[in-house]
Structure 1
Amino acid sequence: MQSPVRWGILGTARITRRVAPAIQSAPAAKLIAIASRSEEKAKAWAEKYECPQIVESYEQLLERDDVDVVYIPLPPHLHAEWTIKAAQAGKHVLCEKPLALNALEAETMVNACQQAGVCFEEGVMWYHHPRATQIRDILNQGRLGEIRRVTSAFSFPWQSSVEPSEEYRFKQEQGGGSLMDLGWYCVGASLWTLGMLPEEVFGREVLDGSVDESFSGWMRFANGAEAAFDCSRNMTSRRWIEIAGTEGSIVCDDFTRPWQEEKTRFWIHDAQGNAEVVNCEAATQETCLIENFSQRILTGQLDNQQSLGLKTQQVMDRLLKSAKSKRNENEF
């Protein structure tokens, strides 16, 4: 396959406002077409993001010979269906998180892409920022000693012009809830840091209707390390992580997305409390993701990231099961 990799997008979800410009600015990518079931929305979107082609249906986009990869920003309950259809059509797939409603669905998606010989990845962008590479290098160098605990939080006060009845994040059957929407980043970051699945998990949810408005989780790993997190859509904006070892710690107060792209940084604290600020290369993480995924397609690296997404989904299932099984315990 020759560069640039040709991209199509299924739907005009809000996240495409960031991803479309990223495709336009990534050297190895080119935006070809947008598919939407609303012609009016598609026309407005295509004009705003300079997309040359409008396709009336998702099926028609998958049939196009001039599209190599599809980005799927649809609600989670549609991810499995359209990932499998895209793979069967020979398209590489970048799928938004959460990957699916559960781990079984996620496994079918991964298997379909493996059988079709196409690239598949979850759309978590911070993994691709240069800052993540710097943090990984420090962990690999052993500067923190033995990692003992990962603590993280992701929350924001929900404000949207979309009615709750029309928003999938408020519907359990469509993959809603703060754990699936926000906790995914915290769980994934813990697995990314420690490189293994937990042996034990505990979850605690605060419900709003059928979905969790807030969620707290804890994980214990075979090497004795622990991870704890909380996520919420009724709290002030927080997106921080601490990775603590026997000889030092890393603190990042905006790991899911830099508060300011031009001031991307994190801190290293030694055992005596001395803090070192590590300034990072300024970059747009959406563009980094699109470029890295496009390069994977060009070089044939098929299974680079799919295992982390699948493992994250597996842990999410266990956390939700824990929260529901303990819902009525310890009540006064």
Structure 2
Amino acid sequence: MTCRQLQSDLSQMLDSVEITWWAPEDLWDEARLKAGQIHLLDGRKDAARFVEHSTAYQIVVDVTPWLSHPLAKQLATWINPDLDPQLSEEQSSPLGLLRRMSIALSGPSAIPGHLDRLKWQGAATLAHFWGPLEKVAAVNIQTAMTPEVLASNQHLIVWTISTLRQIITLEVATGLPPRAWCEAVGPAGSLVVDGFLDPSLAAKPRFWVHDARGIPRAEEFSPASEVELFAQDLRLAQHDSALREHWRMRIQRTSQWLEILEKSATESTLSRFLR
């Protein structure tokens, strides 16, 4: 779904609610922020600034409707479970402890703003599936958390992050058909999701879970629209301070991931130039 289509759908579902949209190319405007109650940030590199300057009663959230779908929570539980000491890895997750994860995001538009959106979606995916940076650093205390850039040009960036126990690869590319693909592998099994930004399409099917022997595992998924669920959350957030705070924390975590990705890409480009 394009951002324009999402904006149209949300406007129809929330026709009595005034929403301020912030595209990547929009200039920062504190007066505009203070004037509105609900602010949707679309791939903003400076998203953390909105959190810093907003009031506790304002709603500031990144445009990621898929995170309102129950499948998003289920996937996070499987990919990066909080293990119960009473349970084995296999009982906690069909994958066991995550060993390898690959994420690929692409879109047809080649304008710079679209690449910023893809980077934000990639950082949001890492924050959701893999957790906040401080949690990852605590588990992998002996491992540097600096991403390595495997490939980079104006339309494509590929990062890899290696820790003591895990390898994560993130690819973002413009000028290609739209796709959001994710694969996660552990000692007990693996999963593949083709189109995780549109989880309501999982029943098509575009979702596979296999055990270590390659035998598929049957699962039931909600066909509910992630856009409708996101709209419901926006209504709820007007009266739910906990949800507003949850969205603020999510933006801060995504911003942390985006910062280390952007820094590694810049340093990689500079090192190639200096060679």
Name the TM-score, length of structure 2 as normaliser: 0.77
Superposed CA RMSD: 3.0
Match for residue 15 of structure 2 among 31, 37, 50: 31
User: In the alignment, which residue of structure 1 is the partner of 2:249?
Assistant: 307
Give the 3-state SS of the residue equivalent to 1:184 in structure 2. helix
Q: Distance in 1 between matches of 2:192 and 2:178?
A: 17
Number of matched residues? 251
User: In the alignment, which residue of structure 1 is the partner of 2:24?
Assistant: 76
User: In proportion to residue count, which structure has more strand?
Assistant: 1
Contact between 1:155 and 1:232, CA under 8 Å: does it hold in 2? yes
Match for residue 100 of structure 2 among 113, 136, 149: 149
| Deviation of the 1:155 alpha carbon | 1.7
Mapping 1:1-332, distance limit 5 Å: 15-25=3-13, 30-32=14-16, 69-72=18-21, 74-78=22-26, 80-81=28-29, 84-89=30-35, 91-96=37-42, 98-100=43-45, 105-113=46-54, 115-139=55-79, 140=81, 141-158=92-109, 169-170=111-112, 176=113, 178=115, 180-197=116-133, 199-204=145-150, 206-207=152-153, 212-221=154-163, 224-258=165-199, 260=201, 263=204, 266-301=207-242, 302-327=244-269, 328-329=271-272
CA-to-partner distance for each residue in 1:137-194, whole Å, 9 max, x for gaps? 4454333211222211112344xxxxx8xxxx33xxxxx362x222322332122112
Name the TM-score, length of structure 1 as normaliser: 0.65
Q: Which runs of 4+ in 1 moved over 4 A?
A: 258-262
Contact between 2:122 and 2:170, CA under 8 Å: does it hold in 1? yes
Give 1 or 2 for the bigger CA radius of gyration: 1
Percent of aligned positions with the same letter in both sequences? 20
Residue 331 and residue 234 in structure 1: after superposition, are their counterparts in 2 closer, same or farther (change >3 A)? farther
Structure having greater relative contact order (Cα 8 Å, sep ≥ 6): 2
Q: Distance in 1 between matches of 2:212 and 2:273?
A: 38
CA-to-partner distance for each residue in 1:188-218, whole Å, 9 max, x for gaps? 21221121226221235543xxxx2111112
Contact between 2:72 and 2:199, CA under 8 Å: does it hold in 1? no
CA-to-partner distance for each residue in 1:276-329, whole Å, 9 max, x for gaps? 243422122222212112212222322112222222223223222222322353
Task: Please list every run of 5 or more consecutive structure 2 residues that lacks an aligned counterpart in the other structure.
Answer: 82-91, 137-144
Task: Please list every run of 5 or more consecutive structure 1 residues that lacks an aligned counterpart in the other structure.
Answer: 1-13, 33-66, 159-163, 171-175
